Amino acid sequence: MKSLKENGFSADKIVENGNKFLIGNGYLGYRGTLDEFTAKECVGLNIAGLYDGVKGKWRETVNAFNPFFCVISLNGVPLDVRGKEMLSHEAELDLERGLFRRETKFLVGKAHVTLSSERFVSAVEEDLLCSRTRLTSDMDATFFVKAGVDPDIWDLNGPHFTDVESRISGSCVEVKGRTQELGIPVRVACALSHSLQNFHGGLGEFSVRLKAGETFTFDRIARVLVGEKVFSACSYERAYKAHTEEWARLWLLARLDARGDARAQFALDYSIYHLLILAPKGRYSIAARGLSGQTYKGAVFWDTEIFLLPFYMEVLPACARRLIEYRIDTLPAARKKAQDYGFGGAFYAWESQNGYDACSDFNVTDVFTHRPVRTYFKEKQIHISADVAYAILRYYERTNDDALMLGGGLETVLSCAEFARTYSYYNHIKGRYELLDVIGPDEYHERVNNNAYTNYMFFFTAKEGLALAEKFAKKYPARFEELLLSLPEGILQNLREWTEKLYLPKPDAEGVIEQFDGYFRLEDVSVEKVRSRLCHPNEYWGGSGGVATATRVIKQADVIMLFNLYPDKFSAKLRRANYDFYLPYTEHGSSLSRCSYAIAACGIGRREEAYAALLESAEIDLKGGGKQWAGEVYIGGTHPAASGGAWIAATHGLGYGRKGDLA
């Protein structure tokens, strides 16, 4: 299996490469930055599921103190990739072993010096990460090393730690602090293979005398300890062996065969690598930007259920169960949100931080006035509850895990359906229930009526939930009666009556389902024409006054998403008509879009189009693609959903299978 390598160094690509060369283990994510970099270069050690809010700022995941900062100097000249002494540089991400390496050659005076290092986040122990640095010179020389745990942290909305302290005991350095909001203790402890002197603020130094051709090796074993966990050291060799053996096992489960297509093979390997480093080890979930940083507040979106879960169900079913358990665990918060808005059932967080909805009322900043723009994602993207229910239903369909369904799964599905029922409006003139004032997957059009994706998804949620309720009532009558006690009285009958009268938009004469009421009356204009109306490259296209709002141009797949999730409910002819209609209007302003069209193209026999869209999705982080800004808000980072969507298209559409197991 190949590695991802990049030769040379460009300061303009520091942030991009931090994403591209990311390493992680589901709990910790360490950005692909270099040893000599600091918070200014966006060094980040992100912790899944740990959130903190600073007054007046967005709540987000927490980055830990950096245990791998290291600057080596010769004759007062730092070995820094940005210096004029740098001769060559190579960065490498070993996909097969989950390792990041760098090798940089310098000319300092007359001495040719090679600095190399490798690091990994343990695939076995969730709080462990290790680094090994090697140094050689073709001349006798004395080097000075500055290392330890750097307490300076890159935050988008921090600082997140108070009471920061550092200490050293022998060759072990520790920096600790408490989160601002809840006072959760976080320590980063690092055992070094060399003792430090002149210790201050988490960092110290030592000198090493090298003879020509001799290699100096410097190891660091670090742990990120949340709460009252105790530090324990280990050898680099032992940790490396366990880590690489686990990666070998993971690739046996996960790797696909792209049938001799080298480009597709590497793109899929890279996508799968990112899915593997995000596999949760506890009952937490996967953020929209994975472990690449604090973008999108480190929150969990519908991406996880719709685009990521299929991979884990197939490859790592225990992880899939954890993702489902996360939503069951946060059912009380979803019920409270529904109640807060005056509805029944469960209204899930649009941006979930362990159930809390972190979505702001002002998610975008106007690039012209620099004022926050009111958005309605939190209140109106009600389809999130249908997405959660869909994931639970598909998981059960694959596993027949009755225990999970009796332990909250069925209760969650029915609660999501009940939310939609109470949200709906009964139109007495037309004699039907409607879902008004919503936002579908296409976020450029806010507060629309009867979004087809939303209406159909809740219809299927209710129908499948009722069918399972009937099954469990017969199979486990006593347990089912107990389950009903946690639900509103008469919920089953109410849902039956509701599904019979819920409005489901039907195809027009050309076979196209209108995305929402009035969509066909919007300005019929191309994506290119709308783009030409932009006055600023980072201008937001949607909202009340965006350039796309009054047009048919959409952000991402919407109606098409519905067909991808329920292909058997709609004919190929109908799916083809909608694909041809909506694709030209799609701006692909979300990383979820290309892979959605790839999956859709597979289902209607457009293999060449599917292949092209699959590659765009799988290569989005390789090429540094995707939008980096929404107005003045940074939204950069990795794109796990694009990786997951590419995997779905490859396995369920184009038929790529495992070695010796081609579909």
Residue 402 has pLDDT above 50, yes or no: yes
CB 233 within 8 A of CB 172: yes
Q: Cβ distance 23 to 93 under 8 Å?
A: yes
**The CA-based dihedral angle spanning residues 79, 81, 86, 89, taken in that order and rounded to the nearest 10 degrees:** 120
How far apart are the C-alpha atoms of 43 and 34, rounded to whole Å?
8
Q: Which helix (H) or strand (E) holds 377?
A: helix 377-380
Q: What is the pLDDT of residues 132-159, one digit of tens each?
A: 999 999 999 999 999 999 999 999 999 9
Tokens encoding 642: 């694009």
Q: How many residues does the chain have?
A: 663
Identify the domain boundary among 232, 251, 270.
Answer: 251
In a domain, residue 660? The reply is no
For residue 551, which phi and psi values (nearest 5 degrees)? -120, 175
| 238 and 262 housed in the same domain | no
When pLDDT is cut at 50, 70 and 90, the band that residue 660 belongs to is very low
> Is residue 637's pLDDT more than 70?
yes
Does 401 reside within a domain?
Answer: yes
**The 3-state secondary structure of 21-54, one letter per residue:** CCEECCCEEECCCCCCCCHHHCCCEEEEEEEECC
Q: Give the CATH number, domain containing residue 516.
A: 1.50.10.10
Distances (CA, A) of 368 to 164, 484, 541: 39, 53, 13
**Mean pLDDT for the stretch of residues 45-54:** 97
Same domain, 271 and 242: no
Clarify whether residues 296 and 442 are in a common domain.
yes
Say if residues 514 and 578 touch (Cβ distance below 8 Å).
no
Q: Which DSSP category does 585 fall into? A: G
332 CB contacts (<8 Å, ≥6 apart)? 355
**What's the alpha-carbon Rg for the chain, to the nearest Å?**
26
Question: Within 10 A of 569 (CB to CB), how many other CB atoms are there?
Answer: 12
Q: Tell me, what's the pLDDT at 630?
A: 66
As annotated, the active-site residues are 443
27 in any annotated domain: yes
Strands ordered across the beta sheet of 141-148: 77-78, 70-74, 141-148, 203-210, 197-200
Q: Which whole number is the average pLDDT over 455-481? A: 98
What is the spatial distance between Cα 199 and Cα 187, in angstroms, rounded to a whole number? Answer: 18
Percent pLDDT > 90 in the chain is 91
For 421-461, how does the pLDDT look when each residue is reduced to its tens digit (9 = 90+)?
999 999 999 999 999 999 999 999 999 999 999 999 999 99
Let me know whether 245 and 261 are in one domain: no
pLDDT score of 626 more than 70: no
What does the pLDDT read at residue 629?
A: 65
The count of domains in the chain is 2
- Picking from 234, 251, 268, the residue at the C-terminal end of a domain is 251
Question: Terminal CA-to-CA distance of the chain, rounded, Å?
Answer: 21
Classify residue 661: in a domain, yes or no: no
Q: Which of 251, 279, 314 is the last residue of a domain?
A: 251
Pairing of strands 629-630, 633-634: antiparallel
Predicted confidence band at 1 (pLDDT cuts at 50, 70, 90)? low
DSSP assignments along 81-117, one per residue: TTSTTEEEEEEEEETTTTEEEEEEEEEETTEEEEEEE
User: How would residue 103 be classed by pLDDT, with cut points 50, 70 and 90?
Assistant: very high
Residues 286 and 239 in one domain: no
Whether 245 and 290 map to the same domain: the answer is no
Question: 281 in a domain, yes or no?
Answer: yes
Banded model confidence at residue 663, pLDDT cuts 50, 70, 90: very low
pLDDT at 662 over 60: no
Q: Note whether 243 and 307 are same-domain residues.
A: no
Q: What percent of the chain has pLDDT over 70?
A: 98
Q: For residue range 527-582, list pLDDT tens digits in order.
A: 999 999 999 988 999 988 899 999 999 999 999 999 999 999 999 999 999 999 99
Closest to 66 measured CA to CA, from 260, 293, 251, 222: 222
In the predicted structure, residue 661 carries a pLDDT above the cut 50: no
Reduce the DSSP state of residue 501 to 3 states and report it: helix
Same domain? For 536 and 392 the reply is: yes
Is 373 found in the same domain as 263? yes
At 314-349, the pLDDT tens digits run 999 999 999 999 999 999 999 999 999 999 999 999
Angle, in degrees to the nearest 10, between helices 317-329 and 383-399: 140
Residue 449 in domain:
yes
Q: Provide the token pair at 141.
A: 């020389």
**What burial letters (b/e) apply to 328-360, b meaning 16+ CB within 10 Å?**
bbbbebbbebbeeeebbbbbbbbbbbbbbbbbb
Indicate the average pLDDT of the chain. Answer: 95
Do 259 and 234 belong to one domain? no
**Single-letter amino acid code for the residue at 104:** T
Average pLDDT of the residues in 154-183:
96
- Tell me which long-range contacts 168-173 makes (C-beta under 8 A, separation of at least 24): 168/196, 168/199, 168/204, 170/195, 171/195, 171/196, 172/231, 172/233, 173/67, 173/148, 173/149, 173/199, 173/202, 173/204
172 is a domain residue: yes
Q: Do residues 472 and 391 share a domain?
A: yes
Q: Of 97-106, 197-206, 549-558, 632-641, which range is least confident?
A: 632-641
pLDDT value of residue 634:
72
Residue 102 within any structural domain of the chain = yes
Residues 247 and 259 reside in one and the same domain: no
Separation CA 531–CA 586 (nearest Å): 12
Q: For the beta carbon of residue 662, count every other beta carbon within 10 angstroms.
A: 11
Which residues constitute the domain of residue 164? 4-251
CATH code assigned at 16: 2.70.98.40
Tokens of 542: 């949607």
User: Is the predicted pLDDT of residue 243 greater than 60, yes or no?
Assistant: yes
